[in-house]
């Protein structure tokens, strides 16, 4: 299950249909991704990261840092 894509969607007060349309999939397909019934293809994973302005690693729960960019020194 991809908890973070659901949390981000709910935090933004968006429906599955709205997010699905934004990344080019149907509501049903997006619901399968969100519930973990289907794996996220790389292109959809990248589209979601761009849509929410977060890193792919954040979506995959590999980090708790949302920013897709390294901190400036």
The domain tally of the chain equals 1
In the structure, what pLDDT confidence band is assigned to residue 65 with cuts at 50, 70 and 90? confident
70 occurs within a structural domain: no
**Tens of pLDDT, residues 24-50:** 999 999 999 999 999 999 999 999 999
Q: Is the pTM of this model over 0.85?
A: yes
Which residues have a Cβ under 8 Å from the Cβ of 51 and sit 6 or more positions away? Answer: 19, 22, 23
46 occurs within a structural domain: yes
64 occurs within a structural domain: no
Residue 1 has pLDDT above 80, yes or no: no
CATH of the domain at 33: 1.10.260.40
pLDDT value of position 71:
63
Give dist(CA 57, CA 45) in Å, integer: 10
Give dist(CA 52, CA 47) in Å, integer: 9
Residue 54's domain comprises 3-59
Residue 69 has pLDDT above 80, yes or no: no
């Amino acid at each position: 299950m991809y908890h973070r894509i659901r949390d981000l969607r709910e935090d933004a007060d968006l429906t599955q249909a709205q997010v699905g349309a934004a990344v080019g999939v149907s509501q049903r397909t997006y619901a399968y991704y969100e519930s973990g019934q289907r794996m996220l293809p790389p292109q959809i994973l990248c589209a979601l990261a761009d849509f929410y302005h977060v890193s792919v690693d954040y979506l995959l729960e590999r980090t708790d840092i949302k920013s897709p960019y390294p901190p400036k020194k």
